[in-house]
Structure 1
Amino acid sequence: MEEETWELRLYIAGQTPKSVTALANLKKHCEEHLKGRYQLEVIDLLKNPQLAEGDQILAIPTLVRKVPKPIRKIIGDLSNEEKVLVGLDVRSLVTK
């Protein structure tokens, strides 16, 4: 279970400051806490707006954790590391 690969999707809208910040913050958090155990897919809704429907995206940027289940979502620029770790339920890995 601990070796499970986390599947994450970050929904953004172009290269806005919030989108760029969210991606940078997410990469930093993942490298620090999930290094080698995550896959990140970035979906630009300006290029593929139809993809928002599948994960019911209502605001951007939004991070969706697909695996491990259950699906979790975090909205915002992901600058609050504590909120991101709690939202993704990564804290349990950090305390091990």
Structure 2
Amino acid sequence: DVWSTARFRDIIAETVAGKKALPGIFMFINRADTHPGMKEAIETQDALRTLSGVSVLDHRIFQRTAYRRSFSEGRAVFELGSDSKAASEIIDLAKTLYPNVDT
């Protein structure tokens, strides 16, 4: 939940206090509902944006059967099908986090 996230952010801040190079803290919505009528992901994202010291990405990982299936089979989600929505979500997240790396 968002309040646990705030506590986790504070733990990171305490851990790196006094260090020269501070890590960037990026957050995104994980396990978002795929139904367009469900607004919890938007509300959560808005709440995360109220936290200082973090960057909230617009990217979302949705709750998909492919993630559960890949976990139970011990495979990456793109090994189940590189053209799946789940695989695209992970690849897009990687591109967002590492824009200078070819995927």
On whether the aligned pair clears a TM of 0.5, the verdict is: no
The structure richer in helix per residue is 2
**Looking at CA atoms only, which structure, 1 or 2, has the larger radius of gyration?**
2
TM-score after normalising by structure 1? 0.34
TM-score after normalising by structure 2? 0.32
The structure richer in strand per residue is 1
Higher relative contact order (CA 8 A, sep 6+): 1
